[in-house]
Structure 1
Amino acid sequence: MELLFLFLFLFLFITIMIILYLRLVFSGKDQLPLGRTGFPIVGETLEFMSMGRKGTPERFFKERMAMYSHKVFKTSLLAEKTVVFCGASGNKFLFSNENKLVTSWWPRSVEKIFPSSTYTSTSEESLKMRNLLPRFLKPDALQKYVATMDVVTRSHLDTHWNGHKKVIVFPLAKKYTFTLACRLFLSVDNPTEIARFSDPFHLLVAGILSVPINFPGTKFNKAINATKTIRKEMIRIIRQRTVDIAAGIAIPGHDFLTHMLITTDENGQFMKEMDIADKIIAMLIGGHDTTSATITFILKYLAELPRVYDKVLQEVEELAMEKKGGDLLNWEDLKKMKYCWNVVNEVLRMAPPVQGTFREALTDFTYAGFSIPKGWKLYWNANTTHKNPKYFSEPEKFEPSRFEGKGPIPFTYVPFGGGPRMCPGKEYARLAILVFMYNIVRRFKWEKVILDEKIVVDPMPMMANGLPILLYPHYRMNE
């Protein structure tokens, strides 16, 4: 009798489980992705940010992918109902459906800091920017700037690195990338002029993706005030450049600012000063903080991995031997730095400066059997592939050889995004980083001061103490 009851119990239990499973599978087409939206308004934003500050941003995604789905799950970030697309298939879907099913979206904090963009949508402003950039940032246009990059890099190292036993990398890397961006985008190379808005610029970058609470003392409030200061300085530069163009002093196309001042839209209208200022600021952000973060992590890994440093040094010394005395680097030189670029790619895999970006659903659609409502925000994050052993074996191991030959599977390596919205500054970043690597490795070897320095993500990865290092110069008889 007991066996009969046990059999009936097991039969009913298994039947119920099968029914529930089938209901879950076949009802997926009409339901939202699984997940939780957390507390009202705040959602899961605090947990998302907390895991980043602990140096483990991938945990937020790994835990939910394991709990709900390895393809897609719902959450709430930055006070928005959000669906997170995971893995290579999620990246491919979003990148392939740009301006079809999805469009770019920026948090409200960005619109508050850049109020001129509120006259049009952020997606329209993004499209305008992307139409302006290609002629200035395409590879053949950038070739002529390699020598200038080399000059700026040598000067920076002479001033801020040579003669110092100990330096803190991240603030110096920011100084370098900001100086370089000012030189190439604005033709501004006066240290006093650059310093006038470098400090407020750092406050802007720190607050642009912070919690949008506009109270005195908050990062967001500081970013708004900093933007006002930077705009005033930018307007001054724009007006002076306008005078120089009229006088024939400034050469059309010489830099990005001049290019914007002489370019009209589809209606033959020139851009307004405030719009130009905001777009230049956006360019400085894109060409500055992400690149400086990458440079910092390059020095971190080269300090930790002598075998990698030695191979980088060998490659740049072989390149240096082909050049005469004080010859500056050129485009062809950088094309030969193949191992160095593999190292950069592995750094970008391990610590992508842009962790991910948002999209917005233009219409209702289905993905992976789930309904995605129009207006919901969509998010992809590089860590769902970069740190996934399905795509990269031993993902926590630093191995530049991953990028030899054909490299990673498509849509798994996405530090620059993908599709129509692939970062237009990718080639600029490549040149700036390789020029810096060539010069820094030829001059110094270094070691970390804090061996177990923590990594934090807020909103991009950075070393908790800025990566202090001890410098050991290479002494060469012929230099």
Structure 2
Amino acid sequence: MPFCLSHSTLDLITLIVVPASHCCNGTLRCHRTPRRLPDTAGRLPVCWKNKARLRRRNLPPGSLGLPLVGQSLGLLRAMRRNTAERWLQDRIDRYGPVSKLSLFGAPMVFVAGPAANKVVFLHEALAPKQQRSLTMVLGRKNILELVGDDHRRVCGALMQFLKPEMLPRYVGKIDGEVRRHFLDRWADRRTVTVLPLMKLLTFDIIATLLFGLGHGAARDALAGDFERMMGGIWAVPVDLPFTAFRRSIRAADRARRLVAGITRERKAALEQGTATRSSDLIACLLSLTDSRGERLLTEEEIIDNSIVSLTAGHDTSAILMTFMVRHLANDPTNLVAMVQGK
């Protein structure tokens, strides 16, 4: 039976949920929710979903709550208040280590305990599968959705761009973006709000490295669509007018069309010899071939995984840099040492 990952002391606990139908026969698929719980709550939450219909027999204690909504709002409120770990512990205290609930439109079972590790990593019937809202926004061919040979093939392709010997080639581009950012956003200002600026800087760097986008209308359009796209990843997947999910889906479609256009341009540039494999992520992925000389990734895989790469590196990098700035601001000794290059 699938469980949730947890240290015995609950110092680190990852929310892993299985549909309440987990006790029935059927193929189980693993769902990884798209955004982080607080650091003490682990990395990416994971859930397990069964295709079989929900049945009433042999279900654990707990309530599924209101249709579609379930306990989603309670979890989101806890995450915004940085009390998600307490929210999880309250469920364990109330219902025990196994309980049913509903998150983001899907019936789940929350299971806590160290035995979860064994089941999650060794159960052969489980395969990764994202929650519906994430798949609809990021695309069905993103690496978080793939299993087996397809996952290994896409992961290997992405690592060609990220391997250590490739990183020195990106330093100049990153340095240029950082210098321009500080001149435009920090110079001659007595006070700055760091986190929004770090998010902007992170986006600019990623857009340059992944898509080769310089400053201009295309990057500005992608930035706006990216912000709207991220706003619906955790929304209940109901595609109705004026909802965050509808806005997210529409923004993701626009972003995907923009990346598709960049992909066609890079393909033509590679054929003409005006672009190289190290130009950006799109060019790198387009240049990879298999043992038969055929392109390693399809265009859909390149687009979806470029969008995932943009999403994966954004918030975490921006938050890390914000805390670095905070540390230096609160520790003048380290700041002086850094400026002097010590």
**What TM-score does the superposition give when structure 1 sets the normalisation length?**
0.52
Quick one: which of 217, 229, 253 aligns to 1:228? 253
Check if 1:50 corresponds to 2:72. Answer: no
Backbone CA RMSD of aligned residues: 3.2
Check if 1:290 corresponds to 2:313. Answer: no
Distance 2:116 2:175 in 1: 36
Decide whether the 8 Å contact of 2:69 with 2:236 is kept in 1: no
Describe the shift of the 1:121–1:315 C-alpha distance in structure 2 as closer, same or farther (beyond 3 A): closer
Shift of residue 132 of structure 1?
Answer: 1.9
Distance 2:173 2:159 in 1: 20
Hey, what does 1:475 align to over in structure 2?
none
Shift of residue 33 of structure 1?
Answer: 5.6
Describe the shift of the 1:310–1:96 C-alpha distance in structure 2 as closer, same or farther (beyond 3 A): farther
Hey, what does 1:123 align to over in structure 2?
146
Distance 1:95 1:155 in 2: 46
Aligned partner of 1:81: which letter?
A: P
Distance 1:213 1:154 in 2: 42
Distance 1:226 1:165 in 2: 35
Aligned partner of 2:230: which letter?
A: V
Shift of residue 239 of structure 1?
Answer: 1.3
Gaps of 5+ in 1: 1-29, 322-479
Decide whether the 8 Å contact of 2:129 with 2:146 is kept in 1: yes
Hey, what does 1:110 align to over in structure 2?
134
Aligned partner of 2:274: which letter?
A: I
The C-alpha deviation readout for 1:337-364, integer Å capped at 9, x for no partner, is xxxxxxxxxxxxxxxxxxxxxxxxxxxx
Distance 2:334 2:218 in 1: 35
Quick one: which of 265, 282, 288 aligns to 1:257? 282
Decide whether the 8 Å contact of 1:110 with 1:209 is kept in 2: yes
Describe the shift of the 1:173–1:191 C-alpha distance in structure 2 as closer, same or farther (beyond 3 A): farther
The C-alpha deviation readout for 1:285-319, integer Å capped at 9, x for no partner, is 1122332233334445665xx3xx3454255245x
Shift of residue 221 of structure 1?
Answer: 0.8
SS of the equivalent of 2:231 reads helix
The C-alpha deviation readout for 1:233-280, integer Å capped at 9, x for no partner, is 212211111111011111124421112112246873554433322221
Quick one: which of 194, 197, 200 aligns to 2:222? 197
Describe the shift of the 1:95–1:135 C-alpha distance in structure 2 as closer, same or farther (beyond 3 A): farther
SS of the equivalent of 2:108 reads strand
Distance 1:44 1:143 in 2: 46
Quick one: which of 154, 157, 160 aligns to 1:135? 160
Shift of residue 183 of structure 1?
Answer: 1.5
Hey, what does 1:60 align to over in structure 2?
87
Q: Number of aligned pairs?
A: 283
SS of the equivalent of 1:131 reads helix
Hey, what does 2:48 align to over in structure 1?
none
Decide whether the 8 Å contact of 2:286 with 2:295 is kept in 1: no
Hey, what does 2:238 align to over in structure 1?
213
Describe the shift of the 1:167–1:215 C-alpha distance in structure 2 as closer, same or farther (beyond 3 A): farther
SS of the equivalent of 2:192 reads strand
Distance 1:135 1:313 in 2: 35
Check if 1:149 corresponds to 2:171. Answer: no
Gaps of 5+ in 2: 1-56
Quick one: which of 303, 306, 309 aligns to 1:280? 306
Hey, what does 1:316 align to over in structure 2?
338
Aligned partner of 1:44: which letter?
A: Q
Describe the shift of the 1:191–1:169 C-alpha distance in structure 2 as closer, same or farther (beyond 3 A): farther
Percent of aligned pairs with the same amino acid: 27
Shift of residue 154 of structure 1?
Answer: 2.0
Distance 1:295 1:85 in 2: 34
Distance 1:104 1:161 in 2: 43
Aligned partner of 1:313: which letter?
A: L
Distance 2:157 2:268 in 1: 22
The C-alpha deviation readout for 1:135-159, integer Å capped at 9, x for no partner, is 2223343244334323321221111
Shift of residue 218 of structure 1?
Answer: 1.5
Decide whether the 8 Å contact of 1:207 with 1:220 is kept in 2: yes
Describe the shift of the 1:249–1:165 C-alpha distance in structure 2 as closer, same or farther (beyond 3 A): same
SS of the equivalent of 2:107 reads strand
Aligned partner of 1:210: which letter?
A: A
Spell out the pairing of 1:172-187 with structure 2 (5 A cutoff).
172-187=197-212
Describe the shift of the 1:198–1:38 C-alpha distance in structure 2 as closer, same or farther (beyond 3 A): same
Q: Which 10-residue stretch deviates more, 150-159 or 124-133?
A: 124-133
Describe the shift of the 1:207–1:150 C-alpha distance in structure 2 as closer, same or farther (beyond 3 A): same
Distance 2:128 2:306 in 1: 19
Quick one: which of 96, 99, 102 aligns to 1:76? 102
Structure number with the bigger relative contact order (C-alpha 8 A, sep ≥ 6) is 1
SS of the equivalent of 1:194 reads helix
Shift of residue 170 of structure 1?
Answer: 2.8
Distance 2:163 2:116 in 1: 24
Decide whether the 8 Å contact of 1:265 with 1:271 is kept in 2: no
The C-alpha deviation readout for 1:193-232, integer Å capped at 9, x for no partner, is 3213111111111212222222222111111111122122
